[in-house]
Amino acid sequence: MAPEEMGKVTYRMRLIFAASSLLFVAVLAVSPVKDLLREWKHYKRGYLQFARTRPDTKRLTADYRPDLDQIWIPEMNVVDRCASCHQGITQATLADGSVPQPYRAHPPIPHRVREWGCTPCHRGQGVATEVAEAHETTLAWEQPILPGRYVQGACGSCHHDARPELPKLNRGRQLLADHNCAGCHRLQDIERSVMQGPDLTSVGTKVSREWIYKWLKEPRTVVDDSGNVKVNGYETQESPRMPQFRLSEQELHDLSAYLSAQRSHPVAPYKFSGAVVAKWGKRPDVTDQGELRFRQMFCSTCHSLAVTRAGETKLIGGEIGPELTKVGSKVNPDWLAAWLLNPQGYLAHSKMPRYEWSEEDLFTVTRYIETKLTDSDLLSNVPQLGAATKEEIAHGKKTFSEKGCASCHAVGSSGTQKDFGPDLSALGSKNVSQLEFGKSTIPRNLSSYIQAKITDPSSVNSAARMPQYNFNAADLEAITTALLSMTGPPATSALQKLTIPRGNPQFQPAGEFARIYERYQCADCHKFNGYGGDLAPDLSYEGSRAQRQWIISFLKNPQTLRPTLTFRMPQFNMSEREAAVLADYLSMVMQSPDVRQEAVNAKELTPAQAALGKQLYEVKYQCQSCHTIGSGGGYVGPNLNNAGNWLKPEWIAAWLSNPQALVPGTIEPHRTMTDGEIKALTAYLMTLRQSGGKAAQKQVAAHGAKAGGNGVAGQ
Amino acid sequence: MATTLQASLDRLRATRVWKSIFRRGPAVTNRSRSQAVFGNLFLHWLPVKVREKALTVRASYYLGSISFLLFIALTVTGILLMFYYHPAVPQAYRDMKDLRFVVSNGVFLRNVHRLAAHLMVLLVFWHMFHVFYRGGYKPPHEFNWVVGVILLLLTLFLSYTGYLLPWDQLAFWAITVGSNIISAMPFVGSKMRFILLGGNVVGENALLRFYVLHVVVLPLAAFFFIGVHFWRVQKDGGLTVRSKNDGKK
């Protein structure tokens, strides 16, 4: 370039400069244009158009602003921009299913959306303003939105207590507890129970090696994919306790050998006195008598038996104890009598009450079980196993620990082992990248993983030690929901404050009452201050409800107040003294603060009031549609024939003024009565007394026998 | 039109305000031109006269200038990003999300900052190689070579400290690995690591330290050394330009 051309810009250079400037501006414009076309702005505009098609446009757009909408809750660390697209979320008129998403309103829930945000329950990425980022697992976000069918799992991460609004979650937690998942896994809110599976320290004295083999091979048979459970070939609602392990033939041999060799703490076989054997041993009706006693004692309240009726066989009876149809072919006769006398002597944590047996009853019932509740085909498919060799026992011991059997079953004094399986107490907040999917082709998300792992553990990990469970679709969903609720401790102390702890009901009586309470295992069926089973009435306020004398006579000879119920209180053959101790304790301790003794003075109730009460009972309030007095009335509520001897007047008064306050959830209608009417009805009910004594008891015993006969008819 | 423009410019130059700012008349002679350069803070560290050859693309490929422009771009976008960023756990990552989802052109800002940073590291290396192979380290350029090496290190430190700030998994592990490399130094390694991280783990303290280094200490140092670098280019006689005699005896 010559010096005179210096500083001169050629035409070509200008052109290049102009073109590159234009290009530069165009590139710079990309970002603002993209900003203008953001997804949420599209949905915002869409909402305005949609609102115009609705009759209440004005109301729907009253709060409309063209900006981003967000719910900001600093103390919960929530910034949810979901409402930017989900514009109609709080509009009651948009709740209809025909309203297109994202404009549909949220279904009514106890929490207000504006106060709780969206992601605390639904998860997903609240700060995102793009559809995919907000809902799905993306490169920079691993907690996708919780599918609607598991949303109760989200409730459970704060609500550790059982709430009636969350049936699926409660069911899932119940299943996890029932199946002893806590035996191998650490779980949130579900503690290891004292006894997971039976203690096997002396199992060799109870059952044969062949039976162990059979049980290990098919603890429960599952008939179809929907997971219907069959016990001994009979369909049941009971949840199977022992899962199916994938055991090889060799492992079955070894394990059965090892277990049948466990006889370290045998119970002493019970020897019947010569007189009883002489009296009953040869009588042909010994089993009939045994069956009668079996029914009268209401064993069926806890144990079920297969019953064939009209060509259909099904299990009838309770689920607290095991099904007994073929138990005679299972257990050793020597062991059986010793067990019935003192179940806790063999299995310290057994739920079975210690009945007060007469020797005759024990003999006949044992005979009945041994000879009638049998199945000669039970062990027909089991190969000849012979005596256990030393080598088999050694191998069996190894297999026992490798398969994690010791997580649920104790052998010897060592107790059960903890944490055999992975800790699942924070499973619900696991990221997808932390899960092992193996070669399976299931969708890559947490809920699919949980379901695959439960239905077939080897599908995601061929070396899985976990046994196989067979749940129907609903239960699988419930369990998944419960597992998803276990998100570990809250991330912040602010969230910690929001959690509602699980109620931990405890009832620890002391003294003589405690001994009898433990002996008859009252808490298997009854609740005491929130602790115990729910088969029978809650006894937390029994002292305010029932008169002491009535409790004593009931315990000695339980008569039913509700004839339509299948399950009855067993007859324990309790002594007068035991009954009196229980009645004293219940009357003194189990009192309701809402029932005040001074509220009603029984002596002031006049016959005139009683007459008025009778009229109210029969005409105004029509109580007889549910309750029976004499021979007429309904069967929904308890029989009131003996109300005067049974109930305390102050209880009746408090009950009539507000039944749900005393027993939440009771179906007794809450009527508004005047104090006078309450007094009158109380007076009337207190006049209803059956003459005590033997006649009534006889009638009750006969009734019990009849009812028991109904329960297990066909045997 | 050109004349009216010229006339109005002349009128402007005659005003008192203009004169108070620029202090001299139009640069029409070589002397007044060089005075204009000397008298201007922003120009005075450039040479008054440049050899024509030094301006051609092949002389330098403008590598140093582009690196400087990138540094300016990084400063501008960095300051804008600072308006949206808290060097705190876990707010730092939330700010990344906000930049992506809420801040107008937030993604653009972040991307410009990040890409410019990557490009700057690349160009600074290229610049160094170019200068090296042209023999630019030879006398009288030794001192400026050393300043250049310091600038290279500052660029790398800036890049490294900026890497932690998004507070995502990538950042966390990159800094964990990086700081463990430091601790491999004999004798002082673990102390150095402790000083850098403000503790023994990559946590809130480390984030704060890296932030202060990234937005205050290192940029100021870089500005200072860039100034020295440019100044010395001029004082050392301009760019090293290949002469026709290069490579010949």
Residues A573 and A447 in one domain: no
Q: Is the pLDDT of residue A458 over 60?
A: yes
Write the pLDDT tens digit of every residue in A76-108.
888 999 999 999 888 888 888 888 888 999 988
Instruction: State which of A123-137, A567-581, B153-167 shows the largest mean pLDDT.
Output: B153-167
State the smallest CA–CA distance between residue B153 and chain A in angstroms.
31
Q: Is the pLDDT of residue A230 over 60?
A: yes
Q: What is the ipTM of this complex?
A: 0.78
* pLDDT given at position A228: 62
State the smallest CA–CA distance between residue A441 and chain B in angstroms.
27
Residue A619 covered by a domain: yes
Write the pLDDT tens digit of every residue in A160-176.
888 888 999 999 998 88
Confidence band (pLDDT; 50, 70, 90) for A131? Answer: very high
Write the pLDDT tens digit of every residue in A442-451.
888 899 999 9
Confirm if A237 and A484 have CB atoms less than 8 A apart. Answer: no
Contacts of A372 (CB under 8 A, 6+ apart): A287, A290, A291, A328, A715
The mean pLDDT value for A341-355 works out to 86
Cβ-based contacts under 8 A for chains A and B: 28
Residues A576 and A670 in one domain: yes
Looking at chain B, the whole-number percentage of residues with pLDDT higher than 90 is: 59
Cβ–Cβ contacts within 10 Å for residue B235, how many? 13
Shortest CA distance from A129: residue in chain B: B101
| Separation CA B28–CA B34 (nearest Å) | 10
Orientation of helix A446-455 relative to helix A473-484, angle to 10°:
130
Residues A94 and A241 in one domain: no
Write the pLDDT tens digit of every residue in A360-375.
888 899 989 988 888 7
Identify which has the larger pLDDT, A476 or A470: A476
Helix (DSSP H) and strand (DSSP E) numbers for chain B: 12, 0
Residue located via tokens 């005139």: A608
Confidence band (pLDDT; 50, 70, 90) for A693? Answer: very low
B102 and A68 within 8 Å at the Cβ level: the answer is yes
Looking at chain A from residue 65 to 94, which residues have their Cβ under 8 Å from any Cβ of chain B? Answer: 68, 79, 81
Domains of chain B: 57-235 (1.20.810.10)
The mean pLDDT value for B51-78 works out to 90
CATH number of the domain encompassing residue A433:
1.10.760
Confidence band (pLDDT; 50, 70, 90) for A236? Answer: low
- Name the residue among B94, B104, B168 with its Cβ closest to that of A35: B104
Contacts of A127 in chain B (CB under 8 A): 94, 97-98, 101-102
Residues A484 and A524 in one domain: no
B94 and A127 within 8 Å at the Cβ level: the answer is yes
* pLDDT given at position A2: 53
Write the pLDDT tens digit of every residue in A590-622.
888 888 877 777 777 888 888 888 888 888 888
Write the pLDDT tens digit of every residue in A33-88.
999 999 999 999 999 999 999 988 898 888 888 888 899 988 888 899 999 999 98
The mean pLDDT value for A211-240 works out to 66
Residue A219 covered by a domain: yes
Tokens encoding A496: 């910690």
Domain that holds residue A552: 511-711
Contacts of A367 (CB under 8 A, 6+ apart): A280, A286, A287, A290
Confidence band (pLDDT; 50, 70, 90) for B114? Answer: very high
* pLDDT given at position A239: 58
* pLDDT given at position A709: 36
Shortest CA distance from A39: residue in chain B: B101
Residues A209 and A101 in one domain: no
Residues A340 and A250 in one domain: yes
- Name the residue among A6, A34, A127 with its Cβ closest to that of B97: A127
Shortest CA distance from A67: residue in chain B: B102
Contacts of B155 (CB under 8 A, 6+ apart): B120, B121, B124, B222
Interface of B with A (CB under 8 A): 52, 94, 97-98, 101-102, 104-105, 107-108, 168
| Separation CA A41–CA A689 (nearest Å) | 77
Q: How many domains does chain A have?
A: 5
Q: Is the pLDDT of residue A584 over 60?
A: yes
Beta bridge partners of A72: A79
The mean pLDDT value for A7-26 works out to 89
CATH number of the domain encompassing residue A684:
1.10.760.10
- The verdict on A128 touching B (C-beta cutoff 8 Å) is yes
Residues A689 and A635 in one domain: yes
Residues A90 and A138 in one domain: yes
Confidence band (pLDDT; 50, 70, 90) for A707? Answer: very low
* pLDDT given at position A695: 42
Residue A256 covered by a domain: yes
Residues A17 and A54 in one domain: no
- Name the residue among A35, A128, A140 with its Cβ closest to that of B105: A35
The mean pLDDT value for B162-189 works out to 92
| Separation CA A617–CA A611 (nearest Å) | 10
Residues A75 and A180 in one domain: no
Contacts of B3 (CB under 8 A, 6+ apart): none
- Helix/strand/coil for A620: helix
Whole-angstrom CA distances from A708 to A316, A574, B169 are 11, 19, 67
Residues A336 and A484 in one domain: no
Residues A576 and A648 in one domain: yes
Residue A381 covered by a domain: no
B98 and A127 within 8 Å at the Cβ level: the answer is yes
Which DSSP letter does residue A315 get? E
